[in-house]
Amino acid sequence: MTEEMVRADNVHKSFGSLEVLKGIDLVVRSGEVCCVLGPSGSGKSTFLRCVNHLEKINAGKIFVDGDLIGYHERGGKLHEMKDSDVAKQRRAIGMVFQRFNLFPHMTTLQNVMEAPCRVKRENKSEVRDRAAALLERVGLGSKIDAYPGMLSGGEQQRVAIARALAMRPKLMLFDEPTSALDPELVGEVLDVMKDLARDGMTMLVVTHEIGFAREVGDNVVFMDGGVVVEQGAPAEIIGNPKHERTKAFLSKVL
Partner 1 sequence: MSVPSQTERVRPEAIKAVPVRRPGRWLAIAVIAILVAMFLHLIFTNDQFRWSFIFSSYEPGKRGVMFTEPVLEGLRGTLLLTVTSMVIGVVLGVLIAIMRLSDNWILRTVAFGYTWFFRAVPRLVLCVLFGNLNILWTRIGFGLPFDQQIGKLFGINDLNAQFYSIKATDLLAGFVAGMLALGLSEAAYMAEIVRAGIQSIDPGQAEAATALGLSRGQVLRRVVLPQAMRVIVPPTGNEVIAMVKDTSLVAFVPVTYELFFQLNAIKARTFVVLPVLIAAVIWYLLICTVLMVAQYFVERHFGRGYGTAGRARQRLRAIQAEQGSSAVEGGAT
Binding-site member from 59, 78, 87, 248 for partner 1 (CB under 8 A) = 87
Spatial neighbors of 136 by CB under 8 A, at least 6 apart, are none
Judged by CB under 8 A, which stretch of 6-14, 72-80, 148-156, 181-189 contacts partner 1? Answer: 148-156
**Nearest partner of 213 among 197, 225, 227, judged by Cα:** 197
Q: For residue 204, which phi and psi values (nearest 5 degrees)?
A: -115, 115
* Burial group, residue 182, by CB count within 10 angstroms (0-12, 13-18, 19+): exposed
Spatial neighbors of 59 by CB under 8 A, at least 6 apart, are 10, 11, 12
Site string for partner 1, 45-74 (x = CB under 8 A): -------x-x--------------------
Min separation Cβ 29 and partner 1, Å: 23
Binding-site member from 21, 47, 62, 90 for partner 1 (CB under 8 A) = 90
Instruction: Count interface residues toward partner 1 (CB under 8 A).
Output: 35
CB of 155 closer than 8 Å to CB of 184: no
Looking at the chain, the number of H-run helices and the number of E-run strands are 9, 12
Binding-site member from 41, 104, 187, 239 for partner 1 (CB under 8 A) = 104
80 binds partner 1 (CB under 8 A): no
Strand 18-29 to strand 33-37: parallel, antiparallel, or no bridges (unpaired)? unpaired
Binding-site member from 10, 101, 152, 240 for partner 1 (CB under 8 A) = 101
Judged by CB under 8 A, which stretch of 39-47, 91-99, 123-131, 185-193 contacts partner 1? Answer: 91-99
Report 161-180 residues binding partner 1 (CB under 8 A): 163-164, 167
CB of 5 closer than 8 Å to CB of 202: yes
Contact residues toward partner 1 (CB under 8 A) are 52, 54, 83-84, 87-88, 90-91, 93-95, 97, 99, 101-107, 114-115, 118-119, 142, 145-150, 160, 163-164, 167
